């Protein structure tokens, strides 16, 4: 049985901010869902199932919040599923929803991811004080900084590359009305002068803590034919996981990431990602992950990713724009961040990305990762339906 | 929707099932240590190794573990090297099985490993479950899961749908049946006990315990290779209801009925039903919603009244129903899983063996 093609016909997100004190969690998710439905010109009744993701429950202090959110998302009487795969969850959630369409279980599905980080403190939510783990990791930066140092040592990258990425992404965010950080007075010097948090990661090279939600309407071929605006078509999607800690793990370029990308490219018929993919929405919570993932995703040879960044290839007007929306560095509602990457990729190939649109973007990769660089989810979307 | 066969849709079956002995406490074991023997058992019974599995999906809850990302350590136990195609639901493992079933239906994988686990012993599960209620209006009042179930039980009694002796009979039958289930936590003659929250007595309520379960799914001919008599999933569907207790008719379970209709459960009688009814009164609600009469063998395993490892108990129902088909004790079985307060969310699967 061939799979049903999957189309994105609606995208909605909230204006991401540090604290949305004006809405409940339910109000936040409903805002994004409503905007996705409006984009698709559909009503709640057109939605057959809801797939929701966030990570982890401790960030808001609500156990399995999908139960309480059923009403707000119009899910009463419908199937509702809750995905949780750490930081990659936004991408995984979209892929589970896409599978429902691809398997012809449902025709039109709403998928949504959110985080309301102002309800808690992510720094401590991400610190895992149980026996036999490193004490005082103090959040994700403490975990990832050694891997960045390993990358710098291995590749010989100059220590200026991280600030270039942050400076680029923050400028891109100025063109995205939904981005959390709008630093109008950003300069490269300001990034470089910001305090060192976890050597070599500076304050301005880290992501913010955001409140926000993102939603997409996924549908089948018939649904796409009825859609009022161009659809983004899924050409490939995959998840891969590997253990957190083991002797053979390459924390700089995890094999799960490479395998996941290879699976997506195989599905999409991509043999030369550097040439055949027009832009990437990449999960870069700390700026150094741009060059690292450029290599992991096959856009550059090992040790060469930083050269693409340094030469301006990944700028908004470069040959391979990365994080046109401003990326996770500018907006990080953790559970939603992966799906924002997927949704921004869809907006690009639909030609609806506004000021941060890449001219002529036909094939765009959305990428997410989570845990200790152990969970990966990606999709490649195109402006044209996949060849059947 | 989920039973209407698309042309060429793949048949998917449960080919293996394993579970722990469910116990009041397993404090000497980590979650991973509790889970590992079950994973080894379910894989050994199919002869598959980790590298042979096309897709892996698990269900668990950070809130039971008391730490964020608790499932990541379980993944290490699975042995995800080389990297595997894997996902996780923050739900009962029955929904992990649903996700895996969808994945197999897309044709992206031929086999799937599904597992789930939960340890209720480290905390007060009645208090913990209050944290899954509406965080603004309901959770601050700390209404616990037994109190909410008691509201449902009283509504049933007030509606004339049951009475306390009938509820006691449900408990007694479940524990008597569990005498034949070596994995059950409460077995044999268990006194109905004192009121816990009126009208529910301790005998109407599930034991609190720790446990894990695992299932292997396979598609088409692969299922026949791995299992002498696969338990084919003829239909599977799940539905959710409103969260607010006040806007629901607690004597009914419309979500169960819709899921059963969509799964094709109501088309022909089933001979067995494994119902995830943690409270005796909830079995009454589910029997009514599913139209089960006395000819159907309900919860021959003892059901959730004999063992209710949270996050695994729903997957155990599917596994128990499938195992009866594997053993030739059932030809067409219904399996049910629930989540949320007072049966808010329900999943129904219909399993069949090949004709004999």
| Average of per-residue pLDDT across B259-269 | 97
Cα(A81)–Cα(B154) distance, rounded to whole angstroms? 30
The set of residues, in sequence order, having a beta carbon less than 8 Å from that of B28 and lying 6+ positions away, is: none
pLDDT at B356: 85
What the block records as the tokens of B5 is: 């066969």
Asked if B213 is an interface residue toward chain A (Cβ–Cβ < 8 A), one would say: no
Residue B102 has its nearest CB partner, among A103, A239, A244, at A103
Cα(B60)–Cα(A64) distance, rounded to whole angstroms? 10
pLDDT at A132: 46
Q: How far apart are the first and last CA of chain B?
A: 28
| Average of per-residue pLDDT across B253-277 | 98
Residue A64 has its nearest CB partner, among B73, B76, B90, at B90
Residues of A in contact with B241 (CB under 8 A): 70, 76-77
Q: How far apart are the first and last CA of chain A?
A: 12
Nearest C-alpha in A relative to B344:
A67
List, for residues A238-279, the tens digit of each pLDDT value. Answer: 999 999 888 899 999 999 999 999 999 999 999 999 999 999
Give chain A's residues under pLDDT 70: 1, 123-139, 388
Q: Evaluate if pTM is beyond 0.95.
A: yes
Asked if B17 is an interface residue toward chain A (Cβ–Cβ < 8 A), one would say: no
Which uninterrupted H or E stretch holds B14?
Answer: strand B12-19
pLDDT at A133: 53
What rounded mean pLDDT belongs to chain B? Answer: 95
| Average of per-residue pLDDT across B88-95 | 98
pLDDT at A129: 55
CB contact under 8 A, A243 and B81: yes
CB contact under 8 A, B87 and A85: yes
pLDDT at B65: 85
B46 or A143: which leads in pLDDT = B46
List, for residues A351-384, the tens digit of each pLDDT value. Answer: 999 999 999 999 999 999 998 899 999 999 999 9
Residues of A in contact with B73 (CB under 8 A): 244
Residue B85 has its nearest CB partner, among A25, A126, A238, at A238
| Average of per-residue pLDDT across B323-334 | 98
Nearest C-alpha in A relative to B339:
A67
Three-state DSSP state, B154: helix
What is the interface pTM, i.e. ipTM, of the complex?
0.97
CA A157 to chain centre: 25
Cα(B83)–Cα(B205) distance, rounded to whole angstroms? 42
CB A113 within 8 A of CB A93: yes
Residues of A in contact with B240 (CB under 8 A): 66-67, 70, 75-80
- The top-scoring range by mean pLDDT among B7-16, B71-80, B287-296 is B287-296
HEC readout, chain B:
CCCCCCCCCCCEEEEEEEECCCECCCCCCCHHHHHHHHHHHHHHHHCCCHHHCCEEEEECCHHHHCCCCCHHHHHHHHCCCCCECEEEECCCHHHHHHHHHHHHHHCCCCEEEEEEEEECCCCCHHHHHHCCCCCCCCHHHCCCHHHHHHHHHHHHHHCCCCCHHHHHHHHHHHHHHHCCCCCCCCCCCCCCCCEEECCEEHHHCCCCCEEEEEEEEEEHHHHHHHCCCCEEEEEEEEEECCCCHHHCCCCCCHHHHHHHHHHCCCCCCCCEEECCCCCHHHHHHHHHHHCCCCCCEECCCCHHHCCCCCCCHHHHHHHHHHHHHHCCCCCEEEEEEEECCCCCEEEEEEEECCCC
CA of A313 vs chain B CAs: smallest distance (Å): 30
pLDDT for B335 beyond 80: yes
Nearest C-alpha in A relative to B91:
A82
Q: Which of residues 250-289 of B touch A (CB under 8 A)?
A: 254-255, 258
| Average of per-residue pLDDT across B94-118 | 97
What the block records as the tokens of B305 is: 């009244």
| Residue with tokens 């550097």, as numbered in its chain | A274
CB A101 within 8 A of CB A6: yes
Burial B28-41 (b: 16+ CB within 10 A, else e): ebbbbebbbebbee
List, for residues B2-38, the tens digit of each pLDDT value. Answer: 544 555 689 999 999 999 999 999 999 999 999 999 9
Phi, psi dihedral angles at A112 (to 5 degrees): -150, 145
pLDDT for B100 beyond 70: yes
Residues of B in contact with A56 (CB under 8 A): 62, 68-69
């Amino acid at each position: 049985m061939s799979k049903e093609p999957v189309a994105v016909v609606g995208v909605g997100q909230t204006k991401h901010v540090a604290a949305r004190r004006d809405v409940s969690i339910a109000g936040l998710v409903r805002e994004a869902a409503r905007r996705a439905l409006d984009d698709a010109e559909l009503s709640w009744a057109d939605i057959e199932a809801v797939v929701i993701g966030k990570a982890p429950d401790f960030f808001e202090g609500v156990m399995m919040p999908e139960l309480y959110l059923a009403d707000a998302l119009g899910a009463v009487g419908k199937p509702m599923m809750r995905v949780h795969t750490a930081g990659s969850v936004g991408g995984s959630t979209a892929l589970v929803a896409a599978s429902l369409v691809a398997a012809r279980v449902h025709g039109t599905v709403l998928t949504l991811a959110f985080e309301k980080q102002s309800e808690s403190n992510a720094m401590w939510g991400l610190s895992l004080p149980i026996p036999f783990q490193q004490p005082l990791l103090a959040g994700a930066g403490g975990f990832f900084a050694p891997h960045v140092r390993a990358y710098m040592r291995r590749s010989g990258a100059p220590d200026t590359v991280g600030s270039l990425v942050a400076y680029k992404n923050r400028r891109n965010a100025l063109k995205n009305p939904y981005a959390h950080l709008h630093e109008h007075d950003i300069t490269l010097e300001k990034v470089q002068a910001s305090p060192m948090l976890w050597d070599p990661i500076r304050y301005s090279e880290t992501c913010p803590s955001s409140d926000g939600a993102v939603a997409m309407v996924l549908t089948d071929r018939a649904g796409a034919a009825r859609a009022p605006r161009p659809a983004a078509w899924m050409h490939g999607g995959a998840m891969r996981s590997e253990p957190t800690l083991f002797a053979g793990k390459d924390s700089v370029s995890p094999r799960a990431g490479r395998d996941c990308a290879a699976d997506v490219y195989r599905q999409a018929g991509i043999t030369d990602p550097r040439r055949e993919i027009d832009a990437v929405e990449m999960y870069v919570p700390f700026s150094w992950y741009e060059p690292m993932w450029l290599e992991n995703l096959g856009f550059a040879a090992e040790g060469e990713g930083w050269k693409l960044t340094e030469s301006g290839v990944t700028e908004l007007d470069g040959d391979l724009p990365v994080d046109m929306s401003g990326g996770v560095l500018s907006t990080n509602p953790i559970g939603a961040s992966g799906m924002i990457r997927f949704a921004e990729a869809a907006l690009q190939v639909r030609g609806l990305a506004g000021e941060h649109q890449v001219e002529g973007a036909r094939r765009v990769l959305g990428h997410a990762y989570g845990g200790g660089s152990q969970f990966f989810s990606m999709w490649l979307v195109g402006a044209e339906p996949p060849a059947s | 929707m989920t039973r209407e066969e698309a042309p060429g849709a793949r048949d998917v079956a449960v080919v293996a099932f394993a579970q722990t002995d469910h116990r009041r406490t397993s404090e000497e074991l980590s979650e991973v240590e509790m889970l590992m023997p079950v994973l080894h058992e379910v894989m050994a019974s199919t002869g598959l190794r980790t590298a042979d599995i096309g897709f892996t999906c698990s269900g668990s809850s950070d809130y039971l573990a008391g730490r964020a990302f608790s499932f990541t350590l379980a993944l290490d136990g699975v042995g995800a090297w080389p990297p595997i195609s894997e996902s996780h639901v923050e739900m009962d493992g029955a929904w992990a099985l649903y996700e895996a079933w969808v994945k197999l239906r897309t044709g992206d994988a031929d086999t799937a490993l599904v597992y789930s686990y939960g340890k209720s012993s480290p905390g007060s599960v009645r208090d913990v479950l209050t944290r899954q209620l509406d965080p603004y209006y309901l959770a601050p009042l700390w209404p616990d899961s037994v109190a909410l179930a008691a509201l449902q039980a009283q509504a049933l009694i007030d509606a004339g749908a049951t009475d306390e002796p009938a509820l006691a009979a449900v408990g007694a039958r479940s524990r008597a049946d569990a005498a034949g289930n070596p994995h059950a936590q409460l077995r044999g003659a268990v006194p109905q006990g004192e009121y816990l929250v009126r009208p529910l007595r301790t005998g109407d309520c599930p034991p609190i315990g720790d446990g894990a379960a695992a299932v292997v799914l396979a598609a088409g001919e692969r299922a026949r290779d791995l299992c002498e008599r696969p338990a084919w999933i003829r239909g599977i569907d799940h539905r959710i209801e409103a969260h607010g207790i006040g806007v629901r008719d607690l004597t009914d379970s419309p979500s169960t009925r819709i899921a059963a209709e969509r799964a094709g459960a109501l088309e022909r009688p089933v001979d067995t039903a494994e119902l995830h009814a943690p409270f005796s009164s909830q079995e009454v609600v589910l029997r009514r919603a599913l139209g089960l009469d006395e000819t159907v063998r309900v919860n021959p395993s003892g059901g959730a009244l004999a063992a209710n490892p949270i996050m695994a108990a729903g997957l155990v129902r599917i596994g128990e129903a499938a195992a009866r088909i594997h053993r030739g004790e059932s030809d067409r079985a219904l399996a049910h899983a629930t989540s949320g307060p007072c049966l808010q969310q329900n999943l129904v699967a219909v399993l069949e063996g090949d004709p004999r």
